[in-house]
Amino acid sequence: MFVAWRDLRFAKGRFTLMGTVIVLITLLVGLLSGLTAGLARENVSAITGLPADRLAFAAPPDGRSVSFTDSTVTASQWRDWAARPGVSAAEPLGIRTLNAAAGGRTAAVSAFGTASGSGIAPGGTGPGRVVLSTSAAKELDVTPGDTVRLGTLDAAVAAVSGDASYSHTPVVWTSLGDWQKLGHSGTTPEEQATVIALSGAGADWAAGDAALRTSSKTIDEALGAIGSYQAENGSLQLMRGFLFAISALVIGAFFTVWTIQRSADVAVLKALGASTRYLLKDALGQAVVMLTAGTLFGTGLAVGFGALISGGDVPFVLDPLTVLGPAAVIVVLGVLGAALSIRRITAVDPLTALGSAR
Amino acid sequence: MSLLLDHVTLTYPDGDGRLTALDAVSLDVPAGSLAAVVGPSGSGKSSLLAVAATLVTPDSGRVVVAGTETSSLGPAQKAELRRETVGIVFQQPNLLPSLTALEQLQVMAHLSGRTSRTARERAGELLDAVGLAVQAHRRPHQLSGGQRQRVNIARALMNEPSVLLVDEPTSALDHERGAAVMELLAGLTAERGTATVLVTHDRTHLDRADRVVTVRDGRITEEARV
């Protein structure tokens, strides 16, 4: 990188301009990644935090996919699931979004109803007793011992635990009986829930689904059953994807122009005996240095901004995956974009350094 | 180590046919000798230089550079031969804008994988030899035309070439500076024992050459010892 380093120092303005573009793109991608992860957490953390291997939904009609909104499972289904070989636990879980009120405050919450003694909810729930996530407690400004009103049900706050959230609403854990009183979605008098949380090793899930008219999904697959999650996450990931593509194109365009501008120098170096490999390494090294420096600076800014806003109301996740992941992708895509542009070095004819052949 | 062109023919595509740039040209330049190649524009002077520098492969004939027959060499081997054995002084100095005068020479050592202090010292000595010790840390835009041409010459000598190919070194210089450059090239050829080929259309300074070869229409028409 003998020439590349000196080019970087000599053409400061040009490389600073390009570096600034990389910094801004990295900052934008970093902020968008943190926001995407934050919104996703608010959408699904209650589901991803469940200590279960799979969730069994009521089998949807042909041609439709499972959905938390449309699913209703019955007591006979979760009891039969519990009795199947290889299944260690089959816990009913009711999910319903409603308004909660305490004092003069109201908040939209998701009521998660679980059977007594169930291992999937924090301890403390029971008839007339609920456990609030910290966000719900904060929004309603309640502490253990206070009373909250969930729909038509008054319940005592037994504890405040965890920060589970579902479909952008904080979770309130209730007993299954209380949850069922909040609204009966089926037409049969049988005890009901939304899904069954299944655990076990070696169980034949497909056979169970066929026998019990359910559709069991892994936790990751089940996230797709939250309607808002797919649309929201899909849109944000598409924006991230476009930003990645734009960064690769911008970097590729810069190095295309840069390589064309210095083709006379490349011809001289070739005439002097520089191998094509040497020249490619030199140019690619230059791209890597610029990309790495720009990305590191942009990531630093994203971390700074993220730290400022993540403590407030903005859902923002600041962790290695949201910070370093996008940075690595930008570097890799940028190097690919640069490599495609730089390869025109191979076509430079050293004869041009001598002037036209006479 | 000498330079030998033996019945070299070179043609270029020209419309539907081909233009003959060199027509069975033979030239033998022994070590320590300076051969000046003169002729009008389009006579084949620069084609001769390009063939000798292995930048162009002739249609037929042999090119032997410092004992190496070049016809069987691939692009990478030719690049290595140019790097290690051939020094090229370009018509325009062709200095890299981001490098100082010293670095213009150091880059030659770097291309050969030599990055030692010795290379830096040698670059300094060469700049001193061409009278540019004071300007060693200046970039091309901070040097005069004559100074740039002297850096161009010093760069060609950096890897101690056996063959020195010089293309119109005085075309951009006034008479006094042109004479100084010719004096320098003749001195370096004798002192370092290079086989030097100097292509020029300027007959003013030919007294510094050991012999003068005239090229016309791709053929050597006259050869005279000075």
Residues of B in contact with A356 (CB under 8 A): 46
**According to DSSP H, which parts of A217-357 are helical?**
219-222, 227-261, 263-271, 276-310, 320-342
pLDDT at residue A195, rounded to an integer: 95
What is the band of A184 on the pLDDT scale with cuts at 50, 70, 90? Answer: low
Q: Which of B47, B55, B115 to mutate to test the interface with A (most CBs of A within 10 A)?
A: B55
Comparing CB atoms, the residue among B76, B108, B167 nearest residue A272 is B108
**Is residue A53 within 8 Å of A199, Cβ to Cβ?**
yes
Taking CA–CA distances from B22, the nearest residue in chain A reads A358
Residue A239: pLDDT over 70: yes
Comparing CB atoms, the residue among A269, A354, A358 nearest residue B42 is A358
CB–CB contact A273 B81 (8 Å):
yes
Taking CA–CA distances from B115, the nearest residue in chain A reads A2
CB–CB contact A272 B97 (8 Å):
no
What does the pLDDT look like over A278-328, one tens digit per residue? 999 999 999 899 999 999 999 999 999 888 887 777 888 888 888 888 899
pLDDT at residue A190, rounded to an integer: 59
Residue A189: pLDDT over 60: no
Residues of B in contact with A357 (CB under 8 A): 12, 21, 46-47, 50, 56
Residues of A in contact with B106 (CB under 8 A): 2
Which sign does the torsion angle of CA B57, B62, B65, B70 carry?
positive
Residue B193: pLDDT over 70: yes
What does the pLDDT look like over B108-149, one tens digit per residue? 998 888 777 888 898 999 898 888 899 999 999 999 888 998
Residues of A in contact with B139 (CB under 8 A): 10
Taking CA–CA distances from B218, the nearest residue in chain A reads A358
More confident residue, A137 or B205: A137
Q: Which of A272, A276, A278, A282 to mutate to test the interface with B (most CBs of B within 10 A)?
A: A272
**Is residue A198 within 8 Å of A55, Cβ to Cβ?**
yes
Tokens, residue A302 = 């994203």
CB–CB contact A270 B111 (8 Å):
no
CB–CB contact B50 A351 (8 Å):
yes
pLDDT at residue A357, rounded to an integer: 36
Residue A187: pLDDT over 70: no
Tokens, residue A255 = 């190095």
Taking CA A236 as the corner, what is the angle to CA A230 and CA A238, rounded to the nearest 5 degrees? 95
Shortest distance between the Cα of A337 and any Cα of chain B, in A, equals: 24
Say yes or no: A358 contacts chain B, CB-CB below 8 A. Answer: yes
Torsion region of B193: left, alpha or beta (phi above 0 gives left; psi -120 to 50 gives alpha): left
Residues of B in contact with A353 (CB under 8 A): 88, 90, 94
CB–CB contact A354 B81 (8 Å):
no
* Percent of chain A residues past pLDDT 90, beyond the cut: 52
**Is residue B124 within 8 Å of B133, Cβ to Cβ?**
yes
CB–CB contact B46 A355 (8 Å):
yes
Reading across the β-sheet that carries B219-225, which strands appear in turn? B86-89, B163-167, B195-200, B34-38, B211-216, B219-225
CB–CB contact B98 A273 (8 Å):
no
What is the band of B86 on the pLDDT scale with cuts at 50, 70, 90? Answer: very high
What does the pLDDT look like over B46-84, one tens digit per residue? 899 999 999 999 999 999 998 899 988 999 999 999 999
Shortest distance between the Cα of B158 and any Cα of chain A, in A, equals: 11
Q: What is the DSSP letter of A129?
A: E
Q: Among A41-55, A69-83, B190-204, which stretch is predicted with the lowest mean pLDDT? A: B190-204
pLDDT at residue B71, rounded to an integer: 87
Q: Whole-model pTM above 0.80?
A: no
Residues of A in contact with B167 (CB under 8 A): 354-355
Average pLDDT estimate for A262-277: 91
